[in-house]
């Protein structure tokens, strides 16, 4: 299933039956940026901003490249020779650079991801890549936390998964209430991390270490 089909599935799951949106051409996207520059009160023909539409479209291509990537593919290559290892595998402080779907404003922070393997593990860089894929899409932090958890559960079939994201949202710090130094924490616990309070606390202790 390609990215646009997945998006249609998500929309359909919300009770809507919408055809996939046509992706605009690069020139149409740049013209939209010119419109926003003019709407903000500036002149898109001014020397200082005349190349801004090109730069913005290039930046969007990087910020939202997660739509063209498949988390399941990243997690598809696993290793079954774990030499009897049966404890937590955890990555701490994975950089999160994302944009909220409400204002398209950045939110920046860290992700902490752990899973309890059963009979197979995945390369640790793949976990970080899954976080990056979902971060480079428009969504809420809550949704992203759940998506990362679901992807790991679906692909690895582990005994449990724990995900914590701690991020600062610029839609809150640079507009609206203008509260700086406020971060949002979201969590998801599945399997043994949900049922075993001691294991869940170990994960949280690792998060808070240092």
C-alpha dihedral sign at 56, 59, 61, 63: negative
Q: What's the CA gap between 136 and 13, in Å, rounded?
A: 21
3-state secondary structure of 210: coil
Measured CA to CA in angstroms, residue 164 lies from 13, 15, 38 at distances of: 25, 29, 40
Cβ–Cβ under 8 Å, residues 160 and 192 = yes
Terminal-residue alpha carbon distance, the chain: 41
Catalytic positions are 100-103, 141, 169, 171
Strands 89-100 and 138-139 come out as: parallel
Read off the DSSP letter of residue 170. H
DSSP secondary structure letters along 10-59? HHHHTT---PPPPPPPHHHHHHHHHHHHHHTT--TTSTTTTTHHHHHHHH
């Amino acid at each position: 299933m390609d990215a646009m089909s997945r998006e249609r599935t998500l929309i359909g799951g919300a009770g809507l039956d919408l055809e996939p949106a046509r992706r605009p051409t690069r020139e149409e996207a740049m013209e939209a940026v010119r419109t926003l520059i003019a709407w903000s009160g500036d002149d898109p023909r001014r020397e200082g901003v005349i190349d801004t539409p090109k730069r913005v479209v290039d930046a969007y291509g990087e910020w939202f490249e997660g739509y063209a990537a498949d988390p399941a593919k990243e997690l598809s290559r696993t290793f079954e020779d774990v030499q009897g290892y049966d404890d937590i595998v955890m990555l701490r402080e994975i950089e999160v650079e994302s944009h909220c779907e409400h204002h398209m404003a950045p939110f920046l922070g860290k992700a902490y991801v752990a899973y309890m393997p059963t009979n197979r593990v995945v390369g640790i860089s793949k976990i970080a890549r899954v976080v990056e894929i979902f971060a480079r899409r428009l969504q809420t932090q809550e949704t992203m936390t759940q998506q990362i958890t679901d992807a790991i559960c679906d692909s690895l079939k582990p005994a449990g998964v724990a995900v914590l994201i701690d991020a600062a949202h610029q839609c809150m710090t640079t507009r609206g209430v203008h509260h700086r130094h406020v971060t949002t924490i979201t969590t998801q616990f599945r399997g043994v991390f949900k049922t075993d309070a001691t294991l869940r606390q170990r994960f949280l202790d690792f998060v808070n270490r240092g």
